A and B are shown apart, each in its own frame.
Chain A
Amino acid sequence: EVRLVESGGGLVKPGGSLRLSCAASGFAFSTYGMNWVRQAPGKGLEWVSGMSGSSPYKYNVVADSVKGRFTISRDDAKNSLFLQMNSLRAEDTAVYYCARVYCPDGVCFSGGAFDIWGQGTMVTVSS
Chain B
Amino acid sequence: QSVLTQPPSVSAAPGQRVTISCSGGSSNIANNYVSWYQHLPGTAPKLLIYDNNKRPSGIPDRFSASKSGTSATLGITGLQTGDEADYYCVTWDTSLSAVIFGGGTEVTVL
Residue ranges of A at the interface with B (Cβ–Cβ < 8 Å): 35, 37, 44-47, 50, 61, 63-64, 97, 99, 102, 104, 109-115, 117-120
* Least CB distance, A110 to chain B, in whole angstroms: 8
Does B47 lie at the interface of the complex (its beta carbon under 8 Å from any beta carbon of A)?
Answer: yes
CB closest residue in chain A, given B98: A63
Among B11-19, B37-45, B73-81, the stretch that binds chain A is B37-45
Asked if A112 and B56 sit within 8 Å, CB to CB, the answer is: no
Does B68 lie at the interface of the complex (its beta carbon under 8 Å from any beta carbon of A)?
Answer: no
Partner of B103, one of A44, A47, A119: A44
Interface string of B45-66 (1 = CB under 8 A from A): 1010011000010000000000
* Least CB distance, B20 to chain A, in whole angstroms: 13
**What chain B residues lie within 8 Å of A119 (beta carbons)?**
44
| Chain B: interface size category | 20 to 34
* Given A97-B44, A112-B90, A119-B44: A61 in contact with B97 (beta carbons within 8 A): yes
Does B32 lie at the interface of the complex (its beta carbon under 8 Å from any beta carbon of A)?
Answer: yes
Output the residue of B44, B91, B97, B101 with the most chain A CB within 10 A.
Answer: B44
* Least CB distance, A114 to chain B, in whole angstroms: 6
**What chain A residues lie within 8 Å of B104 (beta carbons)?**
44-45
- Assembled-state Cα–Cα distance A118/B96 (Å): 26
- Assembled-state Cα–Cα distance A117/B99 (Å): 16
Closest 6 CB pairs of A and B: A111-B92, A112-B90, A117-B44, A47-B99, A113-B50, A44-B104
* Least CB distance, B82 to chain A, in whole angstroms: 19
